[in-house]
A and B are shown apart, each in its own frame.
Chain A
Amino acid sequence: MTKLVTLTIDGMQVSVPEGTLVVDAAKKIGIEIPVFCYHPKMEPVGMCRMCLVEIGRPVIDRSTGQPVLEDDGSPKIQFSPNLETACTTPVGAGMVVLGATEKARSGREDIIEFLLTSHPLDCPICDKGGECPLQNLTIKYGSGQSRYLYDEKKHFVKHVSLGELIFLDRERCIQCGRCVRFQSEIVDDPVIGFFHRGRALEIVTYSNPGFDSYFSGNTTDICPVGALTTADFRFGARPWELNKAASICNHCPVGCNLTMNVRREAASGGDWVVKRVMPRQNESVNEIWVCDKGRFGYHFAASSSNDQTSFKRLSQPLVRKNAGSDHPGELVPASWDEALSVVSERFAEAGDGLLALAGGRLANEDLFNLKQLTTTLGGEAVLYTHMAGGELTTQLGIQPGSDIGTMGQGDAILVVACDLMEEAPIWWLRVKQAAERGSQLIILNSRSTKLDQAAAFVLRYPFGAETSAVLAMLNALSEKRLRLPEAVQVLERDPTLQAAAEVFSGANNALIMYGSDCIGLTESQALAQACANLLDATGHVGRPNNGLLGVWPRANDQGAWELGFQTQTKLEDALGAAAALYIVAADPAGDDPTYLGQSGFGGKAFVVVQDLYLTQTARLADVVLPAQSWIERDGSFTSGERRAQRFYPVIPPRTAPVSRAESPSTNKAPLLIAGDEVMESPLPDFAITAMITLRIDSEARITASSAARVFNQMAETVPAFSDQTYLELAQVHEQWPIVGRDDLYYGGTSYENTGGLGMQLALNTSDTPSTTRLAGTTVEFIRMPKLGQIAFPIARLYDRGKTLMPSQLLHERIGEPYIVLNVNDAEMLRIQDGDVVHMTVANREPDSPDRVTTGQTVVVQARLDQELPERVVLVPRSFGIPIDKPTPVEIRRTE
């Protein structure tokens, strides 16, 4: 129980925990003490001197140790002769703080005057205008006149590019240091810093490319002036011209809360356009931060059917006509009625032979309706992913009350086979901060990652030996030891492993986060099982902040697991064997040409593709159904921490291009003619699925009318969601620090959360989790071949996937496809760093259990790495290289 201290601020008494700063204590009772350099999430520095207040302390008699009293019995208060900074002063018992006196007020006016002396007259052209703490505090506390001569202002370079994402205007900078301190204190990656001194102090970047950090956009939120702005939103609109809507990021399983700002745009003919993405405060998920992928990678969802690029959205259903034995026919636009008739007829015929393949970017409601379809009709609901083990997270995973932000001294986090910075940057930040608060961070990986610097234990296992490594930890804690492959025996004998295992076992709370670094579907299933066994053996299940957490590749994979989706290890065979394929938000043919199979994609199956774009798979389909993107409708996602969160419509749904008639006006403004065509527009995924199902069985328990009704059905059917309603998910409570509203100067321009904080799912306690299935010797283990290399897939935050390539701004950071080779291997193959090479997926031995591959060849750039072991090649996912699990490859130099 922390001690409470009582003090008086501007005549009001307040009691706060010991160690609270005066400026925070004032904020708690609604008294404003203005600040620029102070930020509640960072250590105070007392640089800007804006928070100057008069502070008086009770006088204590040195000899007796008792407070000296005035004549009327009240304690004698001695005020310092000078003003003090409220942000650096912790509260003291009986302290008297005066912020409203003439002295304090004139102190603030003086500091504002100093800041404005060289501050440029940029408000009309500055993006921060309208949400600028300097503007707001100048109106409140500044004088109306300037005594400084314009010609004597200090001039700097304006519009400096700190990398292509962030612009710096050095004249506007007030040298508060928030950006520099954010990068060094919170992100622990000081790629920007101060240069020179005195009035010439300026921000520079030390990295190449400039400001090379996935969190760079956050500095534009906390910058109190328009010095740091994003290139994405440059001159986009004024803040007061924007509408806002709450949403959830659709890129990764963290589920960062977002606020999207929209405006109607003249350039696109009056369409509603997303102008920018800002973080929305949710202290249990993403605090007030969002990574640059979430901030700058929204364009795919906002793309329209008017796009001239390859990311043109589907606007109408397409049905294949005129297909014959010698030619494939073509896809022609059709009405919903026609398309749905064809689909429901063929699905009804297929019956049990229906295979529904879903991608993890779909909402809970979409996935639920898909599952309902297969339940009603028969058939399989398969999740399209390269990472398995999800059903274990529904049984031994995160439960309500969990929050990485509360983990600290005495807790442990084990991160295995995961490159957190690339797979889920905000989790990287949260785990790092948990380690800084005292949690023991244990990293088990085959290669170094950016999280190593924060870890207490860093353990390496040979490539391919991830499951054995986890079992080695289990062995270290058990009497009965499994026999493990030779390759991990060195690791087994490592005393660091023993120490790490003991720390993990003895921790109050322990989490295991597992990812898909260098592993594929089958490997991740085994890994998840091993992790589950370890958690069960050490008793770290069944309470908050304990359990298994999967760092999934997509935003709502967790939702798919909760709703009962399975994985299919032999997906190509399953696709070929099905009678009907219903592929939603997935593009297997585009990802890996081997899915085309020997007799074309899907063989003889009736193929229906439901997606945003005309993907490769869609081009081969029999019917293509256009879906709405997540920002055009509402729904909910389940984050990897098993938190269901609502998202709301941000822009009106894209409609099919409508007829425009010539206007009689001299201006030629087009007249919009409403007609039936308007109805032929993309629909939400859950609605399409429901309409298909209802045409097959009109009594089916499935609804197309609204996401809320689907959610209610889901809550009735699926135990994990049983306590939840849309109303529950929209509940908010006051969070600390206070952001948004009037006090932009305090927390920055992230948005206050009025959309909902979400709710964590109950654990599935009905099925007993299986923890006995793994024996050490049956663990799959990759043996390095005598010749050639094995390619291991790794994650890259910025990839060439269809959800990120529409964001032009990120193309430079994304780069071209590449692979990483060991230096000696490269030498043997006469390859130098940066050479273009051919990489071919090798054929496996005939008696190998895996399928025979078709020998895909890709042309990529080779990069060399000193630390990589021989024979290992790293291949980034979603770069057009069709490798999603450890695969033998042959590499040769391009002549």
Chain B
Amino acid sequence: MFAIELARGLYTTWREMFNKPVTIQYPDQRRPVYRRFKGRHSLHRYDNGLEKCIGCSLCAAACPADAIFVESAENTNAARFSPGERYASTYEINMLRCIYCGYCEDACPTEAIVLGDNYELSFTDRHDAIYTKEMLLEALPEGGSLTPQEVKPGVYTRSVPEMKDPVD
């Protein structure tokens, strides 16, 4: 009797030996993330290169972990960072405090701060975890210019663009 149970169990082991392994060999193989995965943040730009972030601090206010620090300053047409009057002169996220909840992305009125796909974040020093604006700003889109830009007056007057409700 005991042997029958033993045989049953061993049969399971025998069977499984010939099944395909489910292990993903990270870092050689990387599984793609789900569509709404919340990873490393980035500050987006418009197509012309202007930053979307207008320094409103709503992300900082929404953040449950108080991970975001924002200081604002005035745009001029000679040195324009974002459309409208206001831009973020300082923008820091403490990635160790951040819980990757995405509330900042929900709060942002211009869809500037977006949580992306990158989850491969590690630091050897706590100070390195404070990501500055330079680190968070996304790369320049094609055809865009670096900020600050010199622009004609009267063109970029609207801080919050006309937007549709977000679709998935």
Contacts and interface: CB of A to CB of B under 8 A. Distances in A.
B71 A237 contact: yes
A664 B69 contact: no
B56 to A, nearest CB: 3
Contact of B61 (A159, A240, A664): A240
Contact of B92 (A122, A266, A666): A266
Contact of B60 (A123, A241, A664): A241
A669 B130 CA distance: 10
A663 B92 contact: no
A235 B75 CA distance: 11
A666 B128 contact: yes
Interface in B15-47: none
Contact of A122 (B110, B159, B162): B159
A490 interface: no
Interface in A142-192: 150, 158-159
A265 B157 CA distance: 28
Contacts of A121: 160
Contacts of B132: 667
A665 interface: yes
B13 to A, nearest CB: 49
B92 A241 contact: no
B84 A234 contact: no
A125 interface: yes
A665 B126 CA distance: 8
Contact of B85 (A159, A240, A664, A667): A159
Given A121-B160, A665-B125, A234 B74 contact: yes
Given A150-B162, A235-B86, A240-B61, A266 B71 contact: yes
B73 interface: yes
B152 interface: no
Nearest to B90: A266
B102 interface: no
A125 B73 CA distance: 10
B57 A125 contact: no
Interface in B100-132: 109-110, 124-125, 127-128, 130, 132
Contacts of A237: 57, 71
A125 B159 contact: yes
B125 A125 contact: no
Contacts of A669: 127, 130
Nearest to A234: B74
B49 interface: no
19 contacts: A121-B160, A122-B160, A123-B56, A124-B56, A125-B54, A125-B84, A150-B162, A234-B74, A235-B55, A235-B73, A235-B86, A237-B57, A238-B60, A265-B71, A267-B90, A666-B128, A667-B125, A667-B132, A669-B130
Tell me the interface secondary structure of chain A in the complex: loop
A494 to B, nearest CB: 57
Interface string B128-168: 10101000000000000000000000000101101000000
A265 B55 CA distance: 15
A241 B58 CA distance: 11
B72 interface: yes
Contacts of A125: 54-56, 84-86, 159-160
B56 A665 contact: no
B68 to A, nearest CB: 11
Q: How large is the interface on A (under 10, 10 to 19, 20 to 34, 35 or more residues)?
A: 20 to 34
Contacts of A129: 56
A124 B72 contact: no
Given A159-B85, A665-B128, A235 B74 contact: yes
A267 B89 CA distance: 9
Given A125-B86, A667-B125, 18 more contacts: A123-B56, A123-B109, A124-B54, A124-B159, A125-B54, A125-B85, A158-B157, A235-B55, A235-B72, A235-B74, A237-B57, A238-B57, A238-B60, A266-B90, A665-B125, A666-B125, A667-B130, A669-B127
A123 B58 CA distance: 10
Interface in A642-696: 663-667, 669
A264 to B, nearest CB: 9
Contacts of B109: 123-124
Interface string A263-280: 001110000000000000
Interface string A203-245: 0000000000000000000000000000000110110110000
Contacts of B73: 235
A266 B159 contact: no
Nearest to A235: B72
Contacts of B54: 124-125
A241 B90 contact: no
B85 A158 contact: yes
A116 to B, nearest CB: 15
B71 A664 contact: no
A124 B157 CA distance: 14
B74 A663 contact: no
Given A124-B56, A665-B128, A666-B128, A238 B86 contact: no
Contacts of A267: 71, 89-90
B83 to A, nearest CB: 10
B60 to A, nearest CB: 7
Nearest to A158: B85
A663 B86 CA distance: 33
B125 A241 contact: no
Chain A CB within 10 A, most for which of B54, B61, B85 = B85
B128 A667 contact: yes
Contacts of B124: 665
Contacts of A667: 125, 127-128, 130, 132
B128 A266 contact: no
Contacts of B58: 124
Interface string A282-299: 000000000000000000
A131 to B, nearest CB: 13
Contacts of B92: 266
A664 B128 CA distance: 10
Contacts of A235: 55, 72-74, 86
Chain A CB within 10 A, most for which of B74, B124, B125, B162 = B125
Given A241-B57, A667-B130, A669-B130, A124 B160 contact: yes
B111 to A, nearest CB: 12
B57 to A, nearest CB: 5
A240 B160 CA distance: 22
A128 B58 CA distance: 13
Nearest to A668: B127
A129 B86 CA distance: 14
Contacts of A265: 71
A663 B126 CA distance: 11
A129 B125 CA distance: 36
A266 B85 contact: no
Contacts of B160: 121-122, 124-125
A159 B157 CA distance: 11
Interface in B45-83: 54-58, 60-61, 69, 71-74
A122 to B, nearest CB: 7
B15 to A, nearest CB: 51
Nearest to B109: A124
Nearest to A155: B157
Contacts of B86: 124-125, 235
A234 B125 CA distance: 35
A54 to B, nearest CB: 37
B65 to A, nearest CB: 15
Contact of A664 (B55, B74, B89, B125): B125
Nearest to B159: A125
Contacts of A664: 125
Nearest to A666: B128
Contacts of B159: 122, 124-125
A667 B74 CA distance: 26
Contacts of A241: 57, 60
Contacts of A666: 125, 128
A235 B90 CA distance: 12
Contacts of A234: 74
B155 to A, nearest CB: 15
